[in-house]
Amino acid sequence: MPIFEYKCASCDQLFETLVRADTRPTCPNCGGTYLAKQLSVFAASTGGSDNKRESAPANRGSHVCGSGCALH
């Protein structure tokens, strides 16, 4: 089941929820069903023992990187 992020048009609540193919999500704050799907930024595990998470940069052209950058 994928996790999606939504914004409720009725109360402006931002939330994320698991969505099954046969269900329609509702706002946990007001119960509204008029929801706007939000753009999610993914996180990936580095596989190390410290379990730090890294997020993708919002704008590829604005980051500063050194050698070995995986974005170029």
Residue 28 resides in a domain: yes
Greater confidence (41 vs 58) lies with 41
Residue 29 resides in a domain: yes
The CA distance from 24 to 46, in Å, is 33
Q: Which domain holds residue 14?
A: 1-44
Residue 49 resides in a domain: no
Residue 70 resides in a domain: no
Residue 13 resides in a domain: yes
For residues 53 and 44, the answer to whether their CB atoms sit within 8 Å is yes
Please give the average per-residue pLDDT across 28-42, as a whole number: 88
Look up the pTM and report it.
Answer: 0.53
**pLDDT higher than 50, residue 30:** yes
Position 22 scores a pLDDT of 86
Question: Of the segments 12-16, 22-26, 40-44, 47-51, which one has the largest average pLDDT value?
Answer: 12-16
The number of domains in the chain is 1
**Region class of 47: left (phi > 0), else alpha (psi between -120 and 50), else beta:** left
